Amino acid sequence: MNNLQRHTLSWAIIIVGLLILGFIIWSQISPKQQVPGRYDSFASCLTEKGMVFYGAFWCPHCQKIKREFGSGMKNIKYVECSTPDGRGQIKFCADKKIEGYPTFEFADGSRLIGEVAFSKFAEKTGCPLPDNISTPSTTQQ
């Protein structure tokens, strides 16, 4: 490779690097339009009505429900019951006698355990499901 080719290659690498860096910077500072998720308001209503979701990071059913709530999960009152090592339960959950995951506790003290259809949450709390949205395919409790 002669000097001209090395010089051209060096400049090409620098230009590509600058383009990538520019894109990264632009993507971080450009205004992002926040589009509400389909269950955001439903999730807010559930929390306002006193529903609490007790779960564990290692629980596949908990993960499924979190995915179904999508961005609405940020509006759900969630209590992580597992110890960080996944081998035990935090004292708060033990004191509440949480014995299975996921557990959903309501303002009246009643509970539903397992994968619960969103329509059941709506029924228990009076929170309306979004219009024209089919409820996620979870097991009715």
Q: How many CB atoms lie within 10 A of CB 53?
A: 24
- In degrees, rounded to 5, the angle at the alpha carbon of residue 136 between the alpha carbons of residues 134 and 36 is 75
Transcribe 81-99 into DSSP letters. -B-TTSSSB-HHHHHTT--
Quick one: tokens of 51? Answer: 């529903």
Q: Where does residue 116 rank: exposed (0-12), middle (13-18), buried (19+ CB within 10 A)? A: buried
pLDDT digits (tens, 9 = 90+) for 5-44: 888 888 889 998 888 877 777 666 655 544 568 899 999 9
Q: Which domains does the chain have, with CATH numbers?
A: 40-125 (3.40.30.10)
133 contacts 38 by C-beta, under 8 angstroms: yes
pLDDT digits (tens, 9 = 90+) for 112-130: 999 999 999 999 999 999 8
